[in-house]
Structure 1
Amino acid sequence: MALLLTSVITTAISMACCYPTAFQDLVESSSNRSSIKFLAVGDWGGVPYPPYITAVQKATAREMSKVADQMGADFILALGDNFYYKGVNSVDSPRFKDTFEAVYTAKSLKVPWYVLAGNHDHAGNVKAQIDYSHRSDRWKFPSYYYELNFRIPNTGKILTIIMLDTVMLCGNSNDFTDEKPRGPLRKVDANRQLTWLQGRLARSKADFLLVAGHYPVWSVSEHGPTECLLQRLHPLLLKYKATAYLCGHDHNLQYIEESDVGYVVSGAGNFLDPDIRHWNHVPKGSVKFFTGQASTLGGFVHAEVTKNKMIVTFFQARGTSLYRTVLSQRQFK
C-alpha cells in the first residue's frame, strides 16, 4: 500500500511539474502565411507600490504594441521576473491587473503570453501565477516548466520552445546583494527537470529548437554567466543543436553567439543596466550586440521563424531597431 501511494504521489508531482507535448494553435490562420512571429521580453514586472509600473515598462509596452501591429506577433514569451520585487502572494493579487492587464492593453498584445518564473517570482508564490492561467485568456503558464510546439504554416516545418524554471534548476539569487544562485532548493526537483529536458531535447525533430529560461547561460553584464547552467544546460544545447537560448535576468539587451547557438538576453522590459563587468567572462569574440543605455527607454526582441531561418531583431522602446541577426534551421546528419 505504501509503495502504491508513493507511486501515485510521484506521478502527481511529475505531472504537475511538466506539460504534455501538444501543438499550439496560432491565433491568425491565414492561408497565405508561412512564418511564425513572436516577441520576447523579460524582467518587465513593474514595482510593488503605486503606480505599480515604471516609465521603462510603459515605454516598452507601447513600442511592443507598435511592432506587434506592424510586424506581427502570434504570441509573447515572458522571460521571468514578472512581478517585482517579491512576485505575488495569491491568484487574487491586484498586481496581475496593475502590472500586467492594465499595461499591455493594445489589441496587438492580446495574444497568448507564455510565461516562466524568475528569481523575484520565486520570492513569492509561483503556483499563484500558474493558477492565474485559469483567470486570463492570454496568460499561459501551465506548469513550472513545459514544452511548446508549433507548426510553421504552409512549410511542413516545426518550431519547438522549451520553457524552463532555472531557479528550480539552479537556486534563487538576491539581486540586491549580487548573490549568485547557490544551488537548487530541492535537488530532486532540479534533477527531475533536467531529466525531462534531456529527454525532450533528445527526441526533438524540430526544425527550430529554442530553449528559454530566466537566468542567462552567457552574459557580459552584472550577473554574468550562470555557472550552474554552464555545467548542466550548456552541454545539452550544444549536443542537441539548439537554435537559440532566450533569457532575461540582466536588465539589458544582448546577443552572444557561440558554437552555432544564439544566446539572446532580453531583460530590458522594466529597468535598464549598462553594466559590462563580465565582458571578458564570455568566449572571445562571441558578443555581437549589447545595449543597456537609459536613452533606449527599454527594449525587447521580435523573432520571425520561416521555412529555413529565424530572424531576430532587437528593438528599443524609443522606436527603432538596434540589431538584427539570422539563425539557420537545425541540421541533422
Structure 2
Amino acid sequence: MIPPLRSHFPKSTLPRASKSSVLGNHDYRGDVKAQLSPVLKKLDSRWLCLRSFVLNAEIAEFFFVDTNPFVDAYFENPKGHSYDWRGVLPREKYLANLLKDIESALRESRAKWKIVVGHHAIRTVGHHGDTRELVKQLLPILKANDVDLYINGHDHCLEHISDANR
C-alpha cells in the first residue's frame, strides 16, 4: 500500500500551498494515468498533476509542461523500458497542439513573472546533457514570450544557468 501523501509532505510545510507536480520519465514507465488519477486529489485536496497546465499565483504564473513526449529516444530507442503513451499518441499532433497552447498561454499572460516547469532540462551540464528537442522546439517559444525562469528535474542536480543575452 502506498502511504498517504501527508506522510511525504508534512502539514508544517506550506500548509495552504498547492502540491503541483509535472510528469517525469519514470512516471511513463508504468501506468502513467495513476499519477493523473483523481484519487490522489481525494487523498490530499492540494495535489495537482495534469500533463500540462497553468497555475496562477497572482504575481507569477507557473506553466507546467509535460516534456516527456518531446524526447525522441523514448520513442526510437527505449533501452528496454516500456512507456505508457496513452493520451499522447499520435505524438506529432499532440506536440503541435501542446506547443501552440504553450505559446498562446505565455503570450496572453499578464503576470509579472512567467515561470515554466518541465521535467527535462533544456540546457544543462548534468550527465543527461541538453535536451536537443527542447532546445529546438520549446526554447524559442520561451524566449519569444519573455519567460523569466525554467525549472526542471531529471538530472537530479542543482544548477543555475542564465542566458547572457537577457
Map of 1:146-161 to 2, 5 A cutoff?
146-151=53-58, 158-161=59-62
Structure with higher strand content: 1
Q: Distance in 2 between matches of 1:171 and 1:117?
A: 17
| Secondary structure of the structure 2 residue equivalent to 1:229 | helix
Indicate conservation of the 8 Å contact 2:72/2:133, yes or no.
Answer: no
Query: Paired residue for 1:145?
Result: 52
Q: Distance in 1 between matches of 2:129 and 2:53?
A: 26
**In percent, how many aligned pairs have the same letter?**
27
Structure with higher helix content: 2
2:64 to 132, 144, 163: 163
The Cα RMSD (Å) is 2.4
Q: 1:149 to 1:209 in 2, by over 3 A?
A: same
Task: Give, as a single letter, the amino acid of the residue that structure 2 aligns with 1:246.
Answer: I
Query: Paired residue for 1:188?
Result: 93
Indicate conservation of the 8 Å contact 2:113/2:147, yes or no.
Answer: yes
TM-score by length of 2: 0.81
Task: Give, as a single letter, the amino acid of the residue that structure 2 aligns with 1:140.
Answer: L
Query: Paired residue for 1:244?
Result: 149
Map of 1:209-228 to 2, 5 A cutoff?
209-228=114-133
Q: 1:226 to 1:254 in 2, by over 3 A?
A: same
| Secondary structure of the structure 1 residue equivalent to 2:159 | strand
| Secondary structure of the structure 2 residue equivalent to 1:192 | helix
Indicate conservation of the 8 Å contact 2:115/2:151, yes or no.
Answer: yes
Q: Distance in 1 between matches of 2:140 and 2:95?
A: 16
Deviation at 1:128, TM superposition (A): 1.6
* Structure 2 residue 28 is the aligned partner of structure 1 residue 122: yes
Deviation at 1:134, TM superposition (A): 3.3
Query: Paired residue for 1:197?
Result: 102
Q: 1:102 to 1:161 in 2, by over 3 A?
A: same
TM-score by length of 1: 0.42
| Secondary structure of the structure 2 residue equivalent to 1:102 | helix
Q: Distance in 2 between matches of 1:244 and 1:224?
A: 19
Q: Distance in 2 between matches of 1:112 and 1:161?
A: 12
Deviation at 1:135, TM superposition (A): 3.0
Deviation at 1:168, TM superposition (A): 2.5
Output one character per residue of 1:245-270: Cα deviation in whole Å (capped at 9) or x when no partner: 0001001110000133xxxxxxxxxx
